[in-house]
Amino acid sequence: MQGNRNGMIPFPPPVSRDRVIWEFPKCYTPNASLQLKKDWDIQAKAACKAGAARHQPWDRQRMSKVVVVGDLNVGKTCLINRFCKDVFERDYKATIGVDFEIERFEVSGVPFSLQIWDTAGQEKFKCIASAYYRGAQVIITVFDMADIKSLDHTRQWLEEAMRENEPDSCFIFLVGTKNDLLPLDERRRTEKDAIRIATEMHAEFWAVSAKTGENVQGFFFRVAALAFEKCVLKAMENGLPASIGHGGSIRSDCAILEKASPQDMKRGCC
Ligand SMILES: Nc1nc2c(ncn2[C@@H]2O[C@H](COP(=O)(O)OP(=O)(O)OP(=O)(O)O)[C@@H](O)[C@H]2O)c(=O)[nH]1
């Protein structure tokens, strides 16, 4: 895509159809869920409706920061790549430091983005990666369903990520990857252990497979919906106009990305 003279892209293309969210996405299991409700908050819904109806030019986007942490080799990069690029890489290539993707959505008629930070699980890159934990609205702690030790380590990963963030400021998810590797009975046992740990962490649990794609879209839609709704509610709490939409004002804890494309934003990792 061509930028203007400043290298900026004035109007990003419309959000692809498979990134449009109207219905409030369901949780994976009510036994470890951040919210059991089935629909959007009524006030947030009304604000979105009013904003979307205005059809203003899309000159900026609201964005939440998502940080993905967990042991090396658990499948963080594959999970992100399955969702953002619909690919699966069989060979392991360690993440060096950090990398990020920006994924654009339309939620209840309103543009919204997730800035998804993929961090390195290797000890030697930890100090680089941890510099990027700050300012997260969502923390995703990932473990490998076929490696129970990686589940035990998620508490430590969360603790480290929370050190850089305010208590109660983030949605926390516990995600078990590679569920394609387990027979059903073993999968059930691991899920039971994970649900116990998710409850301790005040996290929502999901079991996914980047290889088969199972639950990957459902999971990221849930992340986007919860993060988006929180932005809307926070903006309303702060007394900002209740009408939110293309060019409207959700500020709160969402960053606003002014007319820059993901390519403009993408920096080399450390
Ligand atoms: N069977 C199966 N293998 C997977 C899945 N997800 C990832 N893998 C494999 O697990 C290995 C590690 O995946 P990565 O996504 O690179 O792991 P990572 O957590 O990003 O690792 P670091 O970058 O070192 O932190 C790769 O060989 C993947 O092919 C999955 O859902 N199923």
- Residue 145 · residue 177 · CB < 8 Å: yes
- Residue 100 · residue 266 · CB < 8 Å: yes
- Residue 203 · residue 195 · CB < 8 Å: no
Specify the ligand 1 atom closest to the Cα of 93. 16
Phi, psi of 86 (to 5 degrees): 50, 45
**Torsion (CA) 178, 183, 188, 191 in degrees, nearest 10:** -10
Sign of CA dihedral 10, 14, 18, 19: positive
Q: How far is the CA of 112 from the centre of ligand 1 (A)?
A: 28
Residue owning the nearest CA to atom 21 of ligand 1: 73
Domains of the chain: 62-269 (3.40.50.300)
pLDDT mean values, one per 10 residues, the chain (270 residues):
50 84 96 92 84 52 91 98 96 91 92 95 89 95 98 97 92 98 97 98 98 98 96 78 46 43 38
* pLDDT attached to residue 7: 47
- Estimate to the nearest angstrom the gap between the alpha carbon of 55 and the chain centroid: 26
* pLDDT attached to residue 11: 61
* pLDDT attached to residue 167: 87
Report the residue among 72, 74, 212 best suited for mutation to probe ligand 1: largest number of ligand atoms under 8 A from its CB.
74
* pLDDT attached to residue 266: 43
CA dist 169 and 136 (Å) reads 8
Long-range Cβ contact pairs of 4-12 (< 8 A, separation 24 or more): 7/264, 8/259, 8/260, 8/261, 8/264, 9/259, 9/260, 9/261, 9/264, 10/59, 10/259, 11/57, 11/58, 11/59, 12/58, 12/61, 12/104, 12/261
Q: How far is the CA of 91 from the centre of ligand 1 (A)?
A: 8
Interface predicted TM-score (ipTM) of this complex, two decimals: 0.99
- Residue 88 · residue 211 · CB < 8 Å: yes
Ligand 1 pocket member 44 (CB < 6 A): no
* pLDDT attached to residue 40: 92
Confidence (pTM): 0.86
Q: How far is the CA of 75 from the centre of ligand 1 (A)?
A: 3
Ligand 1 pocket member 215 (CB < 6 A): no
